[in-house]
Amino acid sequence: MTRFALTLEFDGTPFFGLQRQKDGPSVQQAVEEAAQRVLGKDVRLHSAGRTDTGVHALAMRSHIDIDKAIEPFRLMEALNAHLRPDPIAVTHCEAVPDDWHARFSCIGRAYVYRIANRRAPLTLDKDRLWQVPQDLDHGAMHRAAEALIGLHDFTTFRSVHCQSDSPVKTLDKLEVERDGDEVRIHAEARSFLHHQVRSMVGCLALVGMGRWREEQVAEALAARDRQALGLNAPPHGLYFVRAVYPEDA
């Protein structure tokens, strides 16, 4: 048995998220079916993170176990051939030790959330960014974000469907930058609660629009109450960008 680490890039638009779902197509199902066609037997995909319907990935890390001799490059090419026309690509593939686990060995996750801050409808970037027509004060958003950094009870920013044992997490980074009419929010942590990034982005956007004072983000956090959430940002602006492992350090 050889364990192969895969790096996956995907357009989340047509999928009901990364994980297998009873009610619709998932990235996991597509990759497992491609692997089944390549290898002639069932394969289980394990991944660093979960993503919701419509959320994208630039470099999700996953693994599969295979009891057949195959070169990583050939495996990657075969998976990509069988994944067509689904918008999923294996961009890297390598053999890893048996005790390396895409999810359990992962010590850091990074996301970026992209906002198109303009009035005109999106064309080339449709389904790739959240469009916010009101002028966003990204400086105020960046300052408000600082209140969320560190060890906190993130109950306010947690979906009712979250399966995490605890709402207490350490947020390592939450930064807001502007590049022309695009506002980007960068978030990093060891792990995130379900909907946490989108919920934090939604509240920061309210600050950017001037509908919330900067301090209201800290107040929402302190409330530890989902009802204190101002807004959950839509999924299509969110990208999983990086999974970090001990060997990367």
Catalytic residues, by residue number, are 52
Q: Structure tokens of 170?
A: 């350490």
CA distances from 174 to 126, 142, 145, 187 (A): 25, 8, 6, 5
Which of residues 40 and 121 has its CB atom nearest to a second copy in the complex?
A: 121
- Chain residues in the site for a second copy (CB under 8 A): 9-11, 56, 58, 76-77, 80, 83-84, 87-91, 118-124, 126, 128
Of the two residues 148 and 183, which places its CB atom closer to a second copy in the complex? 183
Gap between the Cα atoms of 228 and 27, Å rounded = 32
- Taking phi over 0 as left and psi of -120 to 50 as alpha, with beta for the rest, 195 belongs to left
Q: Which two tokens stand for residue 67?
A: 């009891």
Q: With respect to a second copy, which residue has the nearer C-beta, 49 or 154?
A: 49
d(CA 210, CA 217): 12
Per DSSP, helices labelled H in 17-66 are 27-39
Which is nearer to a second copy, 88 or 193 (by Cβ)? 88
Rounded least distance, CB 90 to a second copy, Å: 6
Q: How far is the CB of 57 from a second copy (least distance, A)?
A: 9
What's the min distance (Å) between Cβ of 71 and a second copy?
A: 14
């999924």: which residue's tokens?
235
Residues 6+ positions from 123 with CB-CB distance below 8 Å: none
Give start and end residues of each alpha helix (H) in the chain. Answer: 27-39, 72-83, 138-145, 196-209, 215-223
Closest to 65 (Cα-Cα) out of 91, 30, 39 = 39
Residue 111 marked ligand-binding: yes
Q: Smaller CB distance to a second copy: residue 52 or 214?
A: 52
Q: Could you tell me the smallest distance in angstroms from the CB atom of residue 22 to a second copy? A: 24
Least CB distance from residue 15 to a second copy, whole Å?
11
Q: Binding site membership: which residues?
A: 111
Q: Which residues are annotated as a binding site for substrate?
A: 111
